[in-house]
């Protein structure tokens, strides 16, 4: 008995689907969307982490003021809402309640120059009160761009830093 080897016909090649590549691409897209949503804030309180941020209160006597403007406020970074937890002669410690832009620290320390009382723009810090703060180049901004969290200043911050 003889058998003939018939040529085997190759089975049609199935197109390979790079499932691993597709899954990886989907994960990258999802991660990117997560980053964008986190940066946009969407009006939600942002998570605060990281080491304390230290800012200088500078010398308000040397400050020259521009008229307050929400458009100018929107360019300032960092900007945050915080509650005073300790007030010493030259240092104010704030617990950050919300970052509007430029940070992620849970705590901020504002340091006055030695011999200067820790105050901003004519007001004293009081433990338990909430403040809205902006800074530039490590120094707290004066002239109404930082201060107690009044309804008017809170509204200006919300408008300036809306997503």
Per-residue pLDDT of 55-109, as tens digits, reads: 988 765 555 677 899 999 999 999 999 999 999 878 999 999 999 999 999 999 9
**Total number of domains constituting the chain:** 2
CATH of the domain at 58: 2.40.50.780
User: Is the whole model's pTM more than 0.75, yes or no?
Assistant: no
Q: Is the residue at 12 inside a domain? A: no
Q: Is the residue at 40 inside a domain? A: yes
- Domain residue limits at 32: 18-44
Radius of gyration of the chain (CA): 28
User: Quick one: 37 and 58 in the same domain?
Assistant: no
Per-residue pLDDT of 5-51, as tens digits, reads: 545 555 555 555 454 433 334 333 333 333 333 333 444 444 556 78
What does the pLDDT average to over 120-127? 76
User: Quick one: 40 and 60 in the same domain?
Assistant: no
Which among 135, 47, 40 is positioned nearest to 98, based on CA atoms? Answer: 47
- Write out the two tokens for 150: 């009044």
Tell the residue number behind the tokens 């120094």, with chain if given. Answer: 139
């Amino acid at each position: 008995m003889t058998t003939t080897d018939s040529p085997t016909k190759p089975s049609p090649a199935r197109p390979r689907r790079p499932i691993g590549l597709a899954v990886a691409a989907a994960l990258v897209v999802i991660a990117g969307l997560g980053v964008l949503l986190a940066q946009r804030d969407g009006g939600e309180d942002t998570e605060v982490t990281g080491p304390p941020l230290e800012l200088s209160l500078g010398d308000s006597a040397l400050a020259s003021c521009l008229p307050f403007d929400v458009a100018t406020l929107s360019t300032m970074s960092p900007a945050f809402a915080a509650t005073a937890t300790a007030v010493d002669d030259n240092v104010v410690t704030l617990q950050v309640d919300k970052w509007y832009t430029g940070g992620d620290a849970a705590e901020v320390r504002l340091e006055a120059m030695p011999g200067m009382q820790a105050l901003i723009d004519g007001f004293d810090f009081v433990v338990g009160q909430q403040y809205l703060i902006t800074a530039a180049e490590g120094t707290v901004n004066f002239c109404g761009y930082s201060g107690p969290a009044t309804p008017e200043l809170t509204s200006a911050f919300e408008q300036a830093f809306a997503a």
